[in-house]
Amino acid sequence: MPDQQTNGSAPTTRSSNSKQSQPLPPSTSQSRLRSSMAIGGVVYGWQEPHLTKTPWELERHKKRSRWRRSKVVENELPVAVFKILPKEVYQCIVVQLEQIHLRQTESCSSCYLRDLHSLSLVSRAWDKATTSRMYRNVLLVTSEEHAKSQKLKIRGTTRLNLLRRTLREQPTLARCVRELHLSDFQTLYQEAAIGKEEIVSLVASLVMACPRLERLVGFHVPFTHSFDRLSHALSTRSHLKEKVWLLSENGDDFSEEEDNNMGSYYLAACDPTERFLELNSTHPSLSTLVLAQHDHQDPVALNFRAIVGTCRAMPALRHLSISGLSATSFTNMTLNALPSQLESLRLERLPGINDKGLQRLATSQLAASVQKLMLIDLEVSSLKTVSNILSTEFAALQHFSLAQQKAPGLSSRASCSDFSSPTLRYVHFEFRVDAGPVPTLSPPSPDISEPPSFPFTNCESITCLATALLAEGIKKGAFPLLHRVRVPHDPQGFIQALCKPLASALLPSDVSTLSTSSSVFGSSISSVPSSHEQSLSRACDSVIGGSRGDRADSAVASSYDISQDIITPARSRLAAQSRILASRKTALMTVRVYDPSGDLKVNKVVGGFIGQVGSKITYDLRADRGRTLGDTFGDAEDRNQWITNTDDLVGVVDTDGEESRERSWGSCGHRLGGRIGKNVVLVDQLF
């Protein structure tokens, strides 16, 4: 019997049989183990496990073993160095990573976000640098739905839902968001046949999750006076700095039965003006405002009070763009009632504005603060208006653009002062239709071995008086700070002759266009058995001479049918290139070497150039970057192809529902191209 202990401890049981049990027979697998283990009061014997050395443990002591441990690199930096690095170093690396992925022609935002996420997992220092970058400027792209993912009503919105959930669960990250880049969702909205309201509601819910949002980039939908969640969500963001209103046709807010029930009572919620003012009343930090109305839509019910009240409710407003409003919505009185603190003003397609209103603008307080003034398709008819703008009245003017169909003229009774501006740095003059009689020069023949003389000149001494006055002002030094000039139609080369000489006016895209448009020239360019300059001259001659509508300032009148791929900027560059080639054929100096006997051994003619070597002005022949990304060359002949417009902000979708910019699959497995990164058009590019 076991002995009982009375010292208060727990009772123990001791076996009377102290012999160890016999080992298991060798036939069993347990015979190899030895350890002590008590089961039911009986102790069984087990063998201890035996460790077998690995190959690297057996051979690493040898002299030339491939398993030997590598020596520690003496130049390797310790971990403590990375902990004390300033945060600016990490920020510079993150910025460089963005340039590598997004500042290329074929941008891949998915790879950029993947690399940022990988860096955030390296250390806490990297996490601070990358997380703040990812959530400050959120780049959100549509995603391909996974087979096992939750089925959504709108395909491609999985990442938006995940981001919204993250921001709602982590308010610290939500307060970091300043910009939302949703260009892919703009394409998704345009291509959607149904469910557009659901897409707008999803974006609005994401906006509501960002309390300090400043910009919504790439997603702009038409606005009606009926209630929509996105307009309401943006109206609650007090830190907003940029707002785009794409005004659409009026919406029916209330039915006729509701109107009859309300009787003669006035409700502010039913007044379009009051509603528009309410949506713009809580933006004390807003600095950029865009009001755009398309021609094919019915005019919205905006009046003097809605526009002026909206602008005056924004004390930080500095950049204003108004386009497409009807003659009753925006008039000369509205123009002269704009706030006086504006720095950039863009007026486009406003039939209610005339020369009288613009001349009055030159004498207002606004003229003293405006630094950028863009007048697009306003049909300015008097050169006196242009001279009032290019004068000392606009004391801070640095950027001036005038683009319209007809060139402004001067009546016999009116007088016009010379163009001058002590602060102007950039000027854009563009006139797109005839300014006088069509010259009667014969078109060039492709059978002529010698190319025609360059530059082409019209029968008239001056084809455009406005361009001639600008050239005269530059020659007299009336624009001391001018450094860039863009005159798309300069047939006589007045402006080009006053700028810095260009080695070539063509771009690589122009060269490829010339090589693929042999049908336009009647014969292949390379088939001419002469120098490259001669063949290029003949190509330039054919392109300049042909047009869908002969211009008075065209080089020659020709019956050639120009391909629609030859857009206005390309034709302007070809014209400038033809003048460059013509100047090279004019002898600047002649080098003659005679031997002692008087025989001529060397007789070389050095060609000239067009321009002034000492000039500081660049002859610009490139369209705006936003206009280049728009790629809408074949739609309308009178559409401006040099200056960025509001259509470029939202992206143009053709009749088949496909965006003009093609997207392809990259080697990384993601969709490349589209309107992301370098290809997105920002609101700042309108000014």
Spatial separation of the C-alpha atoms in residues 637 and 323, rounded to whole Å: 19
Its pTM stands at 0.75
**Is the model's pLDDT at 372 over the cut of 80?**
yes
Indicate the DSSP class of residue 516. Answer: H
Query: Tokens 């080639």 map to which residue?
Result: 581
**Residues sharing a CB contact under 8 Å with residue 301, sequence separation 6 or more, in sequence order:** 225, 250, 272, 273
649 — phi, psi (to 5°)?
A: -70, -40
Question: Is 180's pLDDT higher than 90?
Answer: yes
CB atoms within 10 A of CB 551: 20
CA gap 612, 642 in Å, rounded: 25
Q: pLDDT, tens digit, for every residue of 381-403?
A: 999 999 999 998 899 999 999 99
For residue 629, pLDDT over 90 is answered with no
pLDDT, tens digit (0-9, with 9 covering 90-100), for 68-90 = 656 555 566 777 777 788 888 98
pLDDT category of residue 451 using cuts at 50, 70 and 90: very low
Residue 234, C-beta contacts closer than 8 angstroms, at least 6 positions apart: 207, 216, 240, 243, 279
Q: Cβ(302)–Cβ(259) under 8 Å?
A: no
Report the candidate in 398, 419, 430, 415 with the shortest Cα–Cα distance to residue 472: 419
Contact assessment for residue 10 and residue 34, using Cβ atoms and an 8 Å cutoff: no
Q: How confident is residue 444, by pLDDT bands cut at 50, 70 and 90?
A: very low
Comparing C-alpha atoms, which of 520, 483, 513, 516 is closest to residue 498? 483
Q: Is residue 665 over pLDDT 60?
A: no
From the list 685, 643, 616, 576, the residue with the least C-alpha distance to 424 is 616
Residue position matching structure tokens 């030895």: 34
Contact 465, 409 (CB under 8 A): yes
The three-point CA angle 395-399-402 to 5° equals 110
Strand, helix or coil at 595? coil
SS3 659: strand
Calculate the average pLDDT of the chain.
75
pLDDT tens, residue by residue, 225-257: 778 899 999 999 999 999 999 987 654 444 444
| Cis peptide bond N-terminal to 455, omega within 30 | yes
Residue 35 has pLDDT above 70, yes or no: no
Q: Which two tokens stand for residue 517?
A: 């448009």
* 589 DSSP β-pair partners: 606
Burial of 610: CB neighbours in 10 Å, binned 0-12, 13-18, 19+: buried
Residues with Cβ within 8 Å of residue 50, at least 6 apart in sequence: none
Write the DSSP assignment of 164-176 as a string of letters: HHHHHH-HHHHTT
Question: Which pLDDT does position 656 carry in this prediction?
Answer: 39
Show the tokens assigned to 264.
Answer: 């003669």
CA dihedral sign of residues 653, 658, 660, 661: positive
Q: In what order do the strands lie in the sheet with 399-404?
A: 222-223, 242-247, 288-293, 319-323, 344-348, 372-376, 399-404, 426-431, 484-486, 618-619
406: closest CA among 384, 429, 388, 439?
429
Tens-place pLDDT, residues 120-140: 888 888 888 888 888 998 988
Higher per-residue pLDDT: 557 or 241: 241
At which residue do the structure tokens 């398709």 appear? 377
Q: Residues 440-451: what's their mean pLDDT?
A: 36
- Residues 485-507 have pLDDT tens digits of 999 888 888 899 999 999 888 88
Residue 638, class by beta-carbon neighbours within 10 Å (0-12 exposed, 13-18 middle, 19+ buried)?
A: exposed
DSSP for residue 245 = E
Cα 107 from Cα 670, distance rounded (Å)? 10
